[in-house]
């Protein structure tokens, strides 16, 4: 069948494909431990969920303006402004509420890039970025920092990878899949480089609150922690999916200049219109009760920290030949497994298929994130399942 050139290079999301396969095998009765999808296993905090239920009962079930409920845009702007360590003023007109952070990223790529453009994508990357760039007609150009720096980028690598057609850079900190977190200074160096080159910086900050710093309640550095003068044209992307365990509610947002926000909104007005209204009511509750929100995040963060430590320690002890990037944020372990590649099993995809077949543990091949030597494990699941998963991997190797 002939499809349009729009989707000629499109492939389905690998993260979603593996977790769908894991669910299917489980439904068939297989004993599967699914560590593939990046999805917190907690329920949405009840006080947030109740706001949506109240909204539905109060008849908040119609359309909202395409860029979101005015009071939600206002609340997100206030929250960004209050938390900004760079003294930014954020107007509600700069905020576009979207159907998940995914749509904010897609809208930004579609609105800002096109045919002939190259977009730098910090690698290892979240699997959807290159596809989004491709859907916009542009070309992704992957750029990697040194492995021993957790692949984090500096202006040197960026400069070496860029050329006259470079129009943008997509960066994710804390990173999916590595868990690496840019310090304020590292982020500032990258932001100043993008500013000086006059290219768009799309900063995916969806895991910003999931960071294991020493000082409690501190978020990972984001663009708005820099001085406004350090940042050129930009789109900050964030949302509620990860930090409030709200993946199914589909609420994200883009924060940018009012002029760009207008375009993102116009694009959305012709595709999905507004994000689901009851979901916006729930997000509004979260953003208008920052102290309560912080307490809910802190509770989940404690569990993520414990799970990170126990999984990393179990891998170090029981599978010492596999190395891991020490994650400082998000909820993934990026594990280097190429020391196990041998005849008949030469890449991360085959490694993951074999492990799924023999142990029932579902992981995502690193090739989906731009590094075929690695696999990704999501530790957003129970302590018991994580312990059991490492036990199975180790015992299968011991024979």
State the residues that interact with ligand GLU by CB under 6 A. Answer: 13, 15-16, 37-39, 126, 128, 176
Instruction: Pick the closer one to ligand GLU by CB: 351 or 369.
Output: 369
Instruction: Pick the closer one to ligand GLU by CB: 334 or 351.
Output: 334
Q: Look at residue 252 and give the partner it binds from ligand PMP, ligand GLU, none, a contact being a CB closer than 5 to 8 Å depending on partner kind.
A: ligand PMP
Non-local (6+) Cβ contacts of 265 within 8 A are: 66, 67, 96
d(CA 105, CA 188): 21
Residue 291's DSSP bridge partners are none
Instruction: Pick the closer one to ligand GLU by CB: 106 or 113.
Output: 106
d(CA 171, CA 151): 12
Q: Measured from the CB of residue 330, what is the shortest distance to ligand PMP in angstroms?
A: 8
Q: Measured from the CB of residue 171, what is the shortest distance to ligand PMP in angstroms?
A: 10
Q: Look at residue 204 and give the partner it binds from ligand GLU, ligand PMP, none, a contact being a CB closer than 5 to 8 Å depending on partner kind.
A: ligand PMP
Non-local (6+) Cβ contacts of 98 within 8 A are: 104, 107, 239, 251, 252, 253, 254, 264, 268, 275
* DSSP assignment string, 104-160: HHHHHHHHH--TT-EEEEEES--THHHHHHHHTT-EEEEEE--GGGTT---HHHHHH
Residue 382's DSSP bridge partners are none
Q: Look at residue 107 and give the partner it binds from ligand GLU, ligand PMP, none, a contact being a CB closer than 5 to 8 Å depending on partner kind.
A: none
Q: Look at residue 206 and give the partner it binds from ligand PMP, ligand GLU, none, a contact being a CB closer than 5 to 8 Å depending on partner kind.
A: ligand PMP
Q: Look at residue 37 and give the partner it binds from ligand PMP, ligand GLU, none, a contact being a CB closer than 5 to 8 Å depending on partner kind.
A: ligand GLU
Q: Look at residue 101 and give the partner it binds from ligand PMP, ligand GLU, none, a contact being a CB closer than 5 to 8 Å depending on partner kind.
A: ligand PMP
Structure tokens at 191: 């932001």
User: Rounded to the nearest 5 degrees, what angle is found at the Cα of 368, between the Cα atoms of 367 and 371?
Assistant: 35
Q: Look at residue 13 and give the partner it binds from ligand GLU, ligand PMP, none, a contact being a CB closer than 5 to 8 Å depending on partner kind.
A: ligand GLU
Q: Measured from the CB of residue 277, what is the shortest distance to ligand PMP in angstroms?
A: 17
Instruction: Pick the closer one to ligand PMP by CB: 181 or 393.
Output: 181
The answer to whether the peptide bond before residue 174 is cis (omega within 30 degrees of 0) is yes
User: What's the Cα-to-Cα distance from 51 to each of 160, 182, 246, rounded to whole Å?
Assistant: 49, 35, 13
Instruction: Pick the closer one to ligand GLU by CB: 176 or 296.
Output: 176
Q: Are 327 and 310 in contact (CB under 8 A)?
A: no
Q: Which sign, positive or negative, has the C-alpha torsion 333, 336, 341, 346? A: positive
Crossing angle (nearest 10°) for helices 70-83 and 277-288: 30
Q: Measured from the CB of residue 176, what is the shortest distance to ligand GLU in angstroms?
A: 5
Residue nearest ligand PMP by beta-carbon distance = 100
Spatial strand order of the sheet with 166-172 comes to: 95-98, 252-255, 234-239, 200-204, 166-172, 118-123, 139-144
Q: Measured from the CB of residue 128, what is the shortest distance to ligand GLU in angstroms?
A: 6
Instruction: Pick the closer one to ligand GLU by CB: 35 or 169.
Output: 35
Instruction: Pick the closer one to ligand PMP by CB: 202 or 393.
Output: 202
Q: Measured from the CB of residue 207, what is the shortest distance to ligand GLU in angstroms?
A: 10
Helices vs. strands in the chain: H and E counts, helices first: 12, 13
Q: Measured from the CB of residue 99, what is the shortest distance to ligand PMP in angstroms?
A: 7
Instruction: Pick the closer one to ligand PMP by CB: 178 or 265.
Output: 178
Instruction: Pick the closer one to ligand GLU by CB: 315 or 362.
Output: 362
Q: Measured from the CB of residue 105, what is the shortest distance to ligand PMP in angstroms?
A: 6
d(CA 56, CA 203): 33
Q: Measured from the CB of residue 241, what is the shortest distance to ligand GLU in angstroms?
A: 8
Report the interface residues with ligand PMP, using CB under 6 A: 38, 100-102, 126, 172, 176, 204, 206, 239, 241, 247, 252
Q: Look at residue 387 and give the partner it binds from ligand GLU, ligand PMP, none, a contact being a CB closer than 5 to 8 Å depending on partner kind.
A: none
């Amino acid at each position: 069948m002939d499809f349009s050139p729009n989707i000629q290079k499109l492939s389905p999301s690998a993260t979603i494909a593996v977790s769908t396969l894991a669910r299917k095998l489980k439904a068939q009765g297989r004993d599967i431990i699914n560590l593939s999808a990046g999805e917190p296993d907690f329920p949405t905090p009840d006080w947030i969920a109740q706001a949506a239920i109240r909204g539905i009962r109060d008849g908040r079930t119609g359309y909202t303006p395409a860029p979101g409920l005015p009071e939600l845009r206002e609340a997100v702007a206030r929250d960004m402004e209050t938390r900004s360590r760079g003294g930014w003023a954020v107007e509600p007109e700069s905020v576009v509420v979207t159907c998940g952070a995914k749509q904010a990223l897609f809208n930004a790529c579609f609105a800002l890039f096109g045919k002939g453009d190259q977009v730098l994508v910090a690698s290892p990357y979240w699997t959807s970025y290159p596809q989004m760039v491709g859907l916009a007609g542009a070309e992704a150009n992957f750029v990697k920092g040194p492995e021993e720096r957790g692949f984090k980028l500096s202006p040197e690598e960026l400069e070496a990878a860029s050329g006259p057609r470079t129009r943008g850079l997509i960066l994710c900190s804390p990173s999916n899949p590595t868990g690496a977190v840019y310090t304020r200074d590292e982020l500032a160096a990258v932001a100043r480089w993008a500013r000086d080159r006059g290219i768009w910086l799309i900063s995916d900050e969806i895991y910003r609150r999931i960071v294991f710093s020493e000082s409690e309640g501190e978020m990972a550095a984001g663009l708005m922690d820099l001085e406004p003068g350090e940042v050129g044209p930009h789109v900050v992307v964030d949302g509620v999916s990860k930090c409030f365990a709200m993946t199914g509610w589909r609420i994200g947002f883009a924060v940018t200049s009012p002029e760009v926000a207008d375009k993102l909104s116009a694009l959305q007005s012709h595709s999905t219109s507004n994000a689901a209204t009851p979901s916006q009511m729930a997000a509004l509750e979260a953003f208008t009760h920052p102290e309560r929100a912080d307490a809910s995040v802190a509770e989940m963060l404690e569990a993520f920290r414990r799970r990170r430590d126990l999984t990393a320690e179990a891998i170090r002890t029981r599978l010492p030949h596999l190395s891991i990037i020490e994650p400082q944020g998000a909820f993934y372990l990026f594990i280097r497994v190429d020391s196990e590649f041998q005849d008949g099993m030469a890449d991360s995809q085959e490694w993951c298929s074999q492990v799924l077949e023999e142990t029932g543990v579902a992981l995502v091949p690193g090739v989906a994130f731009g590094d075929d030597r690695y696999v990704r494990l999501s530790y957003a699941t129970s302590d018991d399942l994580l312990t059991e998963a490492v036990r199975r991997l180790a015992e299968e190797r011991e024979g």
